[in-house]
Structure 1
Amino acid sequence: MSEPAEVLFYHLERTSLERVLPPLLERTLERGWRAVVQSGSAERLEALDLSLWTYSDASFLPHGMARDGNPARQPIYLTTGDETPNEAGIRFLVDGAEMAEFTGFMRIVCIFDGNDPEATGKARSQWQAAKAAGCAVTYWRQSESGRWEKQA
């Protein structure tokens, strides 16, 4: 059995997921890591797919879903399930997606909408589950200026 992952919680209050996720994915790729983005809904996954192609005029994030073929070759794989066909070291949980086990990854990043009570409740449950699994957990919140600050 592998070691528990480091789990980071990003509390969105001022910025949308579509603005927060691309820079985090860029940093992931810059480090030579692969990622899986797991969404809680197919509709949100479709919106993220489009957003990752168009978020910047100067660049794009290489990614794909099962329908695109060759999932093992995707640097960023988008899914609503728990599969990891690209051997990703980082898993992003968005739009209410949850982990049953916190192993098999270096990091798990849970990004939740702090303006949505249901999303906040799910994030609290995931925090408790990650702690119980022996994970190192951190909580990040945006400051008034938009910078991410570690709160716990």
Structure 2
Amino acid sequence: MSEVWFYHLDRWPLERALPALLEKAVGRGWRAVVQASSPERMDALDAALWTYDEASFLPHGTSRDADAAVQPIVLTTDTANPNGAVIRFMVDGTEAMPALAESAYERVMLLFDGNDADERAGARRQWADLKKAGHGVAYWQQNEDGRWDKRG
């Protein structure tokens, strides 16, 4: 069973937190998939990954690209795993269960906006559902220094 880690975003927006977490994953040699809620959001995240830091580079593509299978990071809107990723990032309230049924991941990271009541409620519901299904779950929240603290 995959571990599912919930990341409560209340200090940084997704466009800042996601690249930092992806850098860690790629640094470990992991392939990653990021599932967004819509094609427009996927395109916005694609642009954000190209421009988030002039001194960094995150090699990535989208599921629409012909070479998606060779990309270390693929942005998508569906549950497929086009690059054989071992880690999946769920953003914008996307549902983890369908993606977990499609592929075996070492870890699924569910990032939710703590300032958005709907995303908070959705994360709570997913926590309960995933725990009931037997997945190991963990909760991470950013501290004042911007580092992630495991809270549960």
TM-score where L is the length of structure 1: 0.93
1:22-101 equivalence runs, <5 A: 22-101=19-98
CA distance in 2, matches of 1:57, 1:134: 41
CA distance in 1, matches of 2:11, 2:72: 28
Three-state SS of the structure 1 residue aligned to 2:58 is: coil
Identity of aligned residues (%): 54
Please state how far the C-alpha of 1:66 moved relative to its aligned partner.
2.5
1:18 pairs with one of 2, 15, 18: 15
Please state how far the C-alpha of 1:45 moved relative to its aligned partner.
1.1
TM-score where L is the length of structure 2: 0.93
- C-alpha contact 2:63 2:82 (8 A) present in aligned 1: no
The code of the aligned residue for 2:136 comes to A
Three-state SS of the structure 1 residue aligned to 2:88 is: strand
Please state how far the C-alpha of 1:60 moved relative to its aligned partner.
1.5
- C-alpha contact 1:41 1:95 (8 A) present in aligned 2: no
Q: Tell me how many residue pairs correspond in the alignment.
A: 149
Q: Deviations over 1:77-96 (max 9, x none)?
A: 10010010100000000011
CA distance in 2, matches of 1:66, 1:14: 29
Q: For the aligned residues, what is the CA RMSD?
A: 1.2
Which runs of 5 or more residues in structure 2 are unaligned? none
- C-alpha contact 1:88 1:105 (8 A) present in aligned 2: yes
Match of 1:144 in 2: 144
